[in-house]
């Protein structure tokens, strides 16, 4: 008799890669409000060790959002942010297939088409960081979107921008 699959104690996406799991996306419904259209998708991510994530995602002209996430075992906050990155491409593909049914065409991708490099990176990181702060948005997520880096990579770039004097120090000395 085969040994039952053992589910890990914690689902740490940062220790895995997207190719480790199988993603399925199913178009659920569309909602039209205020002249714009939002499409809803059921998303399931399953790993060989029995860990799984189910999410309800919405794609609208404003971007992609996760409305409901259930994971076995539970996800940490860092992993929840990473989950969004992992699901963007499968959702973009599903949107392309559902476009014929009236789904919106605008989907943001995890990686920008042109990534900054060298000396132009710190000023761009500082600009994105400050713009997000002024809007009241999460500046780390703004840097992640602009650079295509993971959360750790974005934090590293923000640190470099601070070291270059383009952002205020994180902790002011008294």
What is the structure's pLDDT at 110?
43
| Residue scoring higher pLDDT (94 or 125) | 125
Query: For the segment 141-164, what is each residue's pLDDT rounded down to a tens digit?
Result: 888 888 878 788 888 999 999 999
Is residue 43 within 8 Å of residue 87, measured between CB atoms? yes
Give φ, ψ of 114 to 5 degrees. -120, 120
Average pLDDT, rounded, for the chain:
77
What is the structure's pLDDT at 3?
57
pTM of the model: 0.49
What is the structure's pLDDT at 6?
59
**Which candidate, 111, 141, 117, places its Cα nearest to that of 129?**
141
| Residue scoring higher pLDDT (171 or 173) | 171
Q: What percent of the chain has pLDDT over 70?
A: 79
What is the structure's pLDDT at 59?
81
What is the structure's pLDDT at 166?
92
Query: For the segment 68-116, what is each residue's pLDDT rounded down to a tens digit?
Result: 889 888 888 888 878 878 887 787 777 765 554 544 443 343 445 445 6
What is the structure's pLDDT at 116?
62
- Omega before residue 73 within 30° of 0, cis: yes
pLDDT at 5 over 60: no
Q: What is the average per-residue pLDDT within 9-24?
A: 76
What is the structure's pLDDT at 140?
87
- Going from N- to C-terminal start, the domains of the chain cover 13-101, 118-163
**Which candidate, 10, 134, 154, places its Cα nearest to that of 76?**
10
Q: How many helices (H) and strands (E) does the chain have?
A: 4, 4
pLDDT at 174 over 70: no
Is residue 129 within 8 Å of residue 142, measured between CB atoms? yes
Q: What is the average per-residue pLDDT within 5-15?
A: 67
Give φ, ψ of 39 to 5 degrees. -110, 140
């Amino acid at each position: 008799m085969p040994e039952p699959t053992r589910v890990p104690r914690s689902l740490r996406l940062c220790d895995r890669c997207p190719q480790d799991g199988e993603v399925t996306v199913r178009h659920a419904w569309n909602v039209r409000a205020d002249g714009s259209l939002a499409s809803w998708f059921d998303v399931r991510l399953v790993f060989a060790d029995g860990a799984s994530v189910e999410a309800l995602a919405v794609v609208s002209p404003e971007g992609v959002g996760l409305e409901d996430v259930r994971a076995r075992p539970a996800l940490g906050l860092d992993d929840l942010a990473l989950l969004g990155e992992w699901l963007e491409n499968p959702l973009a593909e599903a949107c392309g297939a559902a476009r014929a049914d009236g789904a919106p065409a605008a989907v943001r991708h995890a990686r920008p088409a042109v990534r900054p490099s060298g000396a132009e990176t710190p000023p761009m990181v500082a600009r994105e960081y400050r713009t997000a702060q002024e809007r009241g948005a999460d500046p780390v997520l703004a840097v992640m979107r602009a650079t295509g880096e993971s959360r750790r990579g974005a934090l590293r770039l923000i640190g470099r921008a601070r070291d270059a004097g383009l952002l205020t120090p994180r902790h002011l000395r008294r």
